[in-house]
């Protein structure tokens, strides 16, 4: 399983609208995300418009490609594009962040029997 975190930049003046849109995501979009392998997907925003996304998937590249092939994703992205700051849209490519710590991985490593 891959854990993926990314960031995007929403225009701070449109942040409330962006959040409102995500309180009522189209059912077809939700279904497409689920069908293409996006699990435990969350978005977080700060007052400056920085949006952090997190998801878990078996194959992030395949999940992205699967969404690119859906008509609903194209329509959703078009509806979201006015909210993003220049160069900050999902279509422009969210900046993927590198994972540097995961609690469960560390606990597993710590609790594993030590080889002698």
Report all structural domains of the chain as residue ranges with CATH numbers, in order of start. 2-111 (3.30.70.100)
SS (H, E, C) 15-75: HHHHHHHHCCCCHHHHHHHHHCCCEEEEEEECCCCEEEEEEEECCHHHHHHHHHCCHHHHH
Residues 94-107 have a mean pLDDT of 90
Residue 87 or 10, more confident: 10
pLDDT of 53 over the 60 cut: yes
pLDDT of 40 over the 90 cut: yes
- Please tell me the pTM assigned to this model: 0.84
Task: Report how far residue 29's alpha carbon sits from residue 26's, in angstroms, rounded to the nearest whole number.
Answer: 5
Q: What is the pLDDT of residue 91?
A: 59
- Is residue 20 within 8 Å of 75, Cβ to Cβ? no
Q: What is the pLDDT of residue 25?
A: 98
């Amino acid at each position: 399983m891959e854990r993926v975190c990314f960031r995007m930049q929403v225009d701070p003046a449109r942040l409330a609208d962006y959040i409102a849109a995500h309180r009522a995501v189209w059912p077809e979009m939700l279904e497409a995300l689920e069908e293409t392998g996006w699990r435990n997907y969350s978005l977080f925003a700060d007052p400056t418009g920085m949006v952090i996304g997190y998801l878990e998937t078996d194959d992030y590249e395949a999940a992205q490609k699967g969404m690119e092939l859906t008509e609903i994703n194209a329509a959703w992205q078009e509806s979201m594009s006015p909210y993003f700051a220049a160069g900050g849209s999902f279509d422009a490519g969210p900046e993927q962040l590198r994972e540097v710590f995961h609690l469960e991985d560390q606990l597993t490593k710590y609790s594993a029997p030590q080889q002698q």
